[in-house]
Structure 1
């Protein structure tokens, strides 16, 4: 006979699984329709469940979208921490972080999601707060890698935080251009811009970074 504790655990697991399915569906729908144009009814249709079931797990659309963005940011920040803590020469570590930030292609789902979130963040405070958290984590990761390079004597940089902010701002602009106009700016050229800028920020030659 199953214990009451086991039954509660099973129900909690089922609820967690259902929430994960709804968050995954929300991500797919948002990528297709955009945050502003996504309705709870669209997500219900994508998962073949009722809107009432969605509202059982998430009181509002905003709560659902926020939870979806939260899961996404948590995964990306966790990966950033792994890259920052990985061993290797200073320039190699910085290059790994830069390459992780740059989308793999113009259809990179993560970046399509964040570009859409940028627009939504103009009007939605919760989305804006999550974007700030992601940007803060990214700038912090770059700063940490640069500071480690300075401490080891591999880099020269009087203001690692400022250098990280400049790299962040430059890459955001270039990535939006690359995503919208890939025929004008290729990924290879985008990466080259990033490496040249990074080399200047930490006072090393461009040759300290990979050539391709």
Structure 2
């Protein structure tokens, strides 16, 4: 293994350990010393890869975003109609509500709060922007698929619709699963049921 490969492997290992720690304990409660210890490196070595905690937080966020973008790209590349692809894509987000302890939801919720503080012109930030652009490109591919196969209605702005549907479902996931509803209410506000209803409304709206 070359030196560059070793450095890349060590960096990826630090990110993997940080990701596990952040999801398990919350990014506010994890210290760099804890990550260095679990990654089997000295704190000075960790600082060579990530000069501060903010940069490591961005790197972990990038890793999660890239994984999600890859999954969505795979869905949009399947031999399905665009309508079926959208159904699966929204279901993918809704299933995050079933994730034990809502770790990913809590991470993204916290990251949004601190995003303006941790983002800057670093290499990790440039990667953050690159992944966001790739994610947008996948959604635009879904729009193109719908325009070509006719499984989406043609009298609406499909670009605005697709982005709105995905953003609203993902936002509701992050909000609904972390909110404890008033126990005195007689209506069942189960987040999963609400998300399924939201998905059904979007699908019904876009069906030709």
**TM-score bracket, shorter-length normalisation:** 0.7 to 0.9
Kept in 1, the 8 Å contact 2:58–2:128? The answer is no
Tell me how far 1:136 sits from its aligned partner.
5.1
Q: 2:149 aligns with which of 148, 152, 159?
A: 152
RMSD over aligned CA atoms reads: 2.9
Q: Which has the larger radius of gyration?
A: 1
Per the normalisation by structure 1, the TM-score is 0.75
CA shift, 1:129, in A, is 7.5
What does the per-residue CA deviation read over 1:80-121, in whole Å, with 9 as the maximum and x for residues that have no partner? 211111111232111111112231515344333222211111
- Looking at structure 2, the residues matched to 176 and 69 of structure 1 have their Cα atoms a distance apart, in angstroms, of 15
2:49 alignment partner in structure 1: 57
CA positional deviation for 1:70: 2.1
Instruction: Quote the offset at 1:27 in angstroms.
Output: 0.9
The Cα of 1:180 is off from its aligned counterpart by 0.7
CA deviations 1:30-61 (Å, max 9, x no partner) are: 22443344431231243354211211332332
* Higher mean C-alpha displacement, 116-125 vs 134-143: 134-143
Structure 2: how far apart are the matches of 1:88 and 1:58? 42
Q: Does 1:100 align with 2:89?
A: no
TM-score (norm 2): 0.76
- Mapped to 1, the partners of 2:204 and 2:92 lie a distance apart of 17
Give ranges in structure 2 of 5+ residues lacking alignment.
182-188
Using the TM superposition, give the Cα deviation of residue 26 of structure 1 relative to its aligned residue in structure 2, in angstroms: 0.9
Q: How does 1:37-52 map to 2 (within 5 A)?
A: 37-52=29-44
Taking the aligned partners of 1:170 and 1:195, their CA distance within structure 2 comes to 13
Count of residue pairs the alignment pairs up: 195
- Inter-partner Cα distance in structure 1 for 2:27 and 2:146: 39
Distance 1:181 1:44, change over 3 A: same
Q: How far apart are residue 178 of structure 1 and its match?
A: 2.8
SS at match of 1:180: coil
Counterpart check, 1:179 vs 2:177: yes
Q: 1:116 is matched with which residue?
A: 110
Which 10-residue stretch deviates more, 125-134 or 59-68?
A: 125-134
In 2 relative to 1, CA 171–21 (structure 1 residues): closer, same or farther, beyond 3 Å? same
d(CA) in 1 for partners of 2:41 and 2:58?
A: 20
